[in-house]
């Protein structure tokens, strides 16, 4: 309450600084005064950071890192971020991206939202390369030279301390994105990829895989298998990530990612989220592709004569992706769970009342493949669309109903 009252004072920052200095003076006489003083210096630096007072924060963090034997990973992280902001603030104003601050670097490591990673038409996303360079298009060579000239002492020290924070025990995830940004801003792409390789091996996080995939798409576009593997690994670690899911869908549409793999990733994603309209559309499309591919799958089994007649018959009814290994149990559980998670009456009524016709259409198509054409959700959506007179949507849904996989029924029979 007292701090809130002080915030309205003109000399607010001076009062806070004076308060901390008095406090530090008092604790210096305590048995553990040195450690307590360092903690207070760290607190004061953190007080200045979100307010954009990087020079003031630097006055305290530089003392905290002066004793290398006592450097904590969190101190290296904060000092590295302070130096990063000091360096960035000295760039010509026309090169800076407004709104980039230390909070962006600290918060964006979640990066679960596509909004944080909007793809640039001219290369890297702004979240990875937060800079404006007019020369980039006009004269790429001059751009690279300009990048290298910008690497002053603050830049080098920022890279050093963020590197230490990332390579500490345990490694600090919050250091990853700002470190990658700095390396890319310094035209050190190879080092950035090496840091991401290291991070993928030591961090149980989706972020390094997403960043690595994005860099590979920009600088090694031909490594499509590795790129899709990175997005797949990211999705395994964070099934809620729309960004990774949409990237895999895009790669699939280009013909470089299998339908079988995409179905598994879509199902994993929908285990964790309600699912956007486009996600359900893609899953329905995959189900239809798999259903249409079954006759050729059956013929392959007959021609090779490597399975028993019973197994061939089973494969003819249902694609092998759903019955190989532990997939049967997994998909049976999923079918039972999704009936209440995604297709219950309460959700159906809400979606109808909300007028989400496209979502209803694609979800009903998926439900037809999962539970058959007579499933309550499917019938209700067909009736709703007929009342609306949506001939095109009804035609789409009937195509899926006609070619239904009847997954739940066939899993029980397999």
Instruction: Report whether pLDDT(60) > 80.
Output: yes
Which of 405, 404, 406, 365 lies closest to 382, judged by CA? 365
For the ranges 26-40, 118-132, 220-234, the one whose mean pLDDT is highest: 220-234
Flag whether pLDDT at 18 surpasses 80. no
Flag whether pLDDT at 122 surpasses 50.
no
* DSSP letters spanning 307-358: S-HHHHHHHHHS-GGGTSTTHHHHHHHHHHHHHHHTS-HHHHHHHHHTT-HH
Tell me which residue has tokens 């890192």.
65
HSE, side-chain direction, 13 A CA sphere, residue 251: 28
Task: Report residue 248 as tokens.
Answer: 């895999």
DSSP for 119-169?
A: PBTTBS-TTTS----THHHH-HHHHHHHHHHT--HHHHHHHHHHHHHHTSS
Tokens 């101190």 label which residue?
75
| Range 168-191 burial, b when 16+ CB lie within 10 A, else e | beebbbbbbbbbbbbbbbbbbeeb
Q: What tokens does 98 get?
A: 């407004």
Determine the pLDDT at residue 130: 84
Q: Which has more confidence, 88 or 317?
A: 88
307 or 80: which carries more pLDDT confidence?
80
Phi/psi of residue 96, each to 5°?
-80, 150
pLDDT digits (tens, 9 = 90+) for 200-211: 999 999 999 999
What value does the mean pLDDT take over residues 376-380? 97
Rounded CA separation 264/314 (Å): 20
Q: With 80 as the cut, is the pLDDT of residue 177 above it?
A: yes
Average pLDDT score over the chain: 83
Residue 384: which H helix or E strand, with range? helix 376-388
Tokens of 95: 């090169």
Check: CB of residue 37 under 8 Å from CB of residue 53.
Answer: no
> Can you give the pLDDT at residue 108?
45
pLDDT in tens, 317-328: 788 889 888 899
Q: How many residues does the structure list for the chain?
A: 414
Helix ranges restricted to H, 167-241 = 176-185, 189-202, 207-219, 224-237
Distance CA 250, CA 257 (A): 9
Distance of alpha carbon 88 from alpha carbon 106, whole angstroms: 15
State the average pLDDT over residues 384-405: 94
Report which of residues 354 and 51 the model is more confident about.
Answer: 354
Q: What are phi and psi of 120, to 5 degrees?
A: -80, 145
Dist. CA 323–CA 332, nearest whole Å: 10
Tell me the C-alpha distance between 189 and 195, whole Å: 10
Mean pLDDT, range 217-237, rounded to an integer = 96
d(CA 362, CA 153): 56
Instruction: With CA atoms as reference, report the closest residue to 284 among 378, 394, 367.
Output: 367
Output the CA torsion 12→18→20→23 (10° steps). -140
d(CA 96, CA 12): 29
Assign 33 a pLDDT band (cuts: 50, 70, 90). low
Q: If pLDDT is split at 50, 70 and 90, which confidence band does 115 have? A: very low
Confidence band, pLDDT 50/70/90 cuts, at residue 34:
low
Q: Name the pLDDT band for 141 (thresholds 50, 70, 90).
A: low
Residues 42 and 60: beta-carbon distance below 8 Å = yes
> Is the per-residue pLDDT at 359 higher than 70?
yes
pLDDT in tens, 262-317: 999 999 999 999 999 999 999 999 999 999 887 655 444 444 444 443 444 444 57
Q: Which of 241, 232, 281, 285 is nearest to 261 (CA)?
A: 232
């Amino acid at each position: 309450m007292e701090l809130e009252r002080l915030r309205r004072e003109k000399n607010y920052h001076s009062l806070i600084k004076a308060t901390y200095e008095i406090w530090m003076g008092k604790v210096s006489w305590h048995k553990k005064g040195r450690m307590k003083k360092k903690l207070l210096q760290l607190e004061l630096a953190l007080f200045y950071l979100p307010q954009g007072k990087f020079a003031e924060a630097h006055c305290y963090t530089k003392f905290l890192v002066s004793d290398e034997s006592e450097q904590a990973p969190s101190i290296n992280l904060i000092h590295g971020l302070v130096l990063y902001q000091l360096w960035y603030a000295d760039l010509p104003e026309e090169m800076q991206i407004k709104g980039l601050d230390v909070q962006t670097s600290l918060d964006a490591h979640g990066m679960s939202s596509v909004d944080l990673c909007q793809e640039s038409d001219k290369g890297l996303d702004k979240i990875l390369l937060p800079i404006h360079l007019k020369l980039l298009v006009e004269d790429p060579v001059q751009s690279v030279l300009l990048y290298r000239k910008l690497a002053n002492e603050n830049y080098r020290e920022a890279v050093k301390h963020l590197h230490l924070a990332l390579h500490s025990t345990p490694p600090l995830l919050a250091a990853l994105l700002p470190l990658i940004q700095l390396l890319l801003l310094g035209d050190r792409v190879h080092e950035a990829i090496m840091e991401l390789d290291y991070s993928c091996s030591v961090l149980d996080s989706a972020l390094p895989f997403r960043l690595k995939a994005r860099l590979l798409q920009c600088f090694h576009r031909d490594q499509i298998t590795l790129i899709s593997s990175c997005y797949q690994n990211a999705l395994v670690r964070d099934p809620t990530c729309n960004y990774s899911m949409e990237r895999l869908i895009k790669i699939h549409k280009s013909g470089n990612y299998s339908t079988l793999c995409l179905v598994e990733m879509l199902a994993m994603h929908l285990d964790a989220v309600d699912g956007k309209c486009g996600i359900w559309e893609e899953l329905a499309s995959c189900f239809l592709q798999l259903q249409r591919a079954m006759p050729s799958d059956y013929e392959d089994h007959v021609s090779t004569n490597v399975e028993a007649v019973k197994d061939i018959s089973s494969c003819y009814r249902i694609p092998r992706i759903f019955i190989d290994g532990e997939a049967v149990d997994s998909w049976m559980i999923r079918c039972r769970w999704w009936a209440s998670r995604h297709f219950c009456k309460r959700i159906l009524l809400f979606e109808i009342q909300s007028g989400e016709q496209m979502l209803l259409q694609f979800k009903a198509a998926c439900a037809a493949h999962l539970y058959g054409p007579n499933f309550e959700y499917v019938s209700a959506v067909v009736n709703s669309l007929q009342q609306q007179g949506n001939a095109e949507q009804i035609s789409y849904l009937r195509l899926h109903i006609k070619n239904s996989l009847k997954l739940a029924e066939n899993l029980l029979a397999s």
